[in-house]
Structure 1
Amino acid sequence: MTVKIVENQKELDDAFTVRKIVFVEEQNVPLEEEIDQFEAEATHFVMYQEGAPVGAGRFRVVDGYGKVERICVMKEARKTGAGKAIMSAIEGFADLQGLHKLKLNAQTQAIPFYAGLGYEVVSEEFLDAGIPHKTMIKEN
């Protein structure tokens, strides 16, 4: 598995394909909520396994925090360390940008995953696209 920063339209399309499959098809997030107004300002990441896109995520700077968003892995690549590899790549990118405070809005079912990476819950539960979430932060 290889995680890379998106550098061209094909890689961006690959990242969007993974996001659409995971969030829109599997989790019923409306497409207009999944692909939003922040795409152009975000740094996108895509993960490939044997040449096929299997994971994605994006990163933005918001209010002095590195904001980790849209982390997703296709069913066939889950439980293989793929999510951890995507997070590691994004955290490494943030570190290179001098951003040592990271924030994300985790689906409540994914909180144990992010907690295992050092993130702590800092909010009450809220709905995003009809899915329960909590905000989590990590300081490096």
Structure 2
Amino acid sequence: MAEVHAIRHEVFVVEQDVPPDLEWDGKDDRAVHALAEGAGTGRLLLGEDAAGKNGGDPRLAVLGRLAVLKAARGGGVGARLVRALEEEAGRLGLAGIYLEAQVHALPFYERLGYTAYGPEFMDAGIVHRAMRREFSRGPADGPQPRSGTNRDSEATAATK
């Protein structure tokens, strides 16, 4: 968990000036985390933690805290992290994922199959927009892995 926190601190607190009290929300111990060592991290909120952000839909996980270090950006690390978390959500029987994307990242998530909806809003001084992706197969089957994934900097999800 130390590397997860170090990456998020660098990206959110240092780069984006997110106040530490907003970044460290107390939900990490209950979340599923994905880590690409030395490159990036992301997390899934589940259950009550997810319901508090996704409008109360128990079928949806909440993807958040996706952070890739500057030196690793543009190489597919973020996409691999998202896919690892999607696979975990599917394994858990969830029907899809909700997220709140910074508006500059909307095209990234759209390429991964997410759809934006609703108005823009501010969070931690940054403009965001809600997005979601329903998995193409039934909830028990989860998302389909993509072929041709680069395994050199594989992201793995782990439950706590």
TM bucket (normalised to shorter chain) is 0.7 to 0.9
Percent sequence identity over matched residues? 37
Structure showing the higher strand proportion among its residues: 1
| Matching of residue 116 in structure 1 with residue 98 in structure 2 | no
2:32 pairs with 1:43: yes
Quick one: distance in 2 between partners of 1:44 and 1:87?
10
| SS class of match (1:36) | coil
Provide the C-alpha distance between the structure 2 equivalents of 1:96 and 1:70, rounded to a whole number of angstroms. Answer: 21
Q: Which has the higher contact order (CA 8 A, sep 6+)?
A: 2
Aligned AA for 1:131? I
Letter in structure 2 aligned against 1:15 = V
Q: Normalized against structure 2, the TM-score is what? A: 0.76
Unmatched runs of 5 consecutive residues or more in structure 1 = 1-11
Which one of the candidate residues 31, 41, 58 is aligned to 1:56? Answer: 41
Q: CA deviation at 1:37?
A: 2.2
Residue number in structure 2 paired with 1:14: 3
Instruction: Please point out which of 77, 80, 95 is paired with 1:82.
Output: 77
Q: How many residues align?
A: 125
Deviations 1:68-125 (A, max 9, x none): 0100100000000000000010000001001122100000000000000000012210
Which 4+ stretches in 1 moved above 3 angstroms? none
TM-score w.r.t. length of structure 1 = 0.87
CA RMSD of aligned residues (A): 0.8
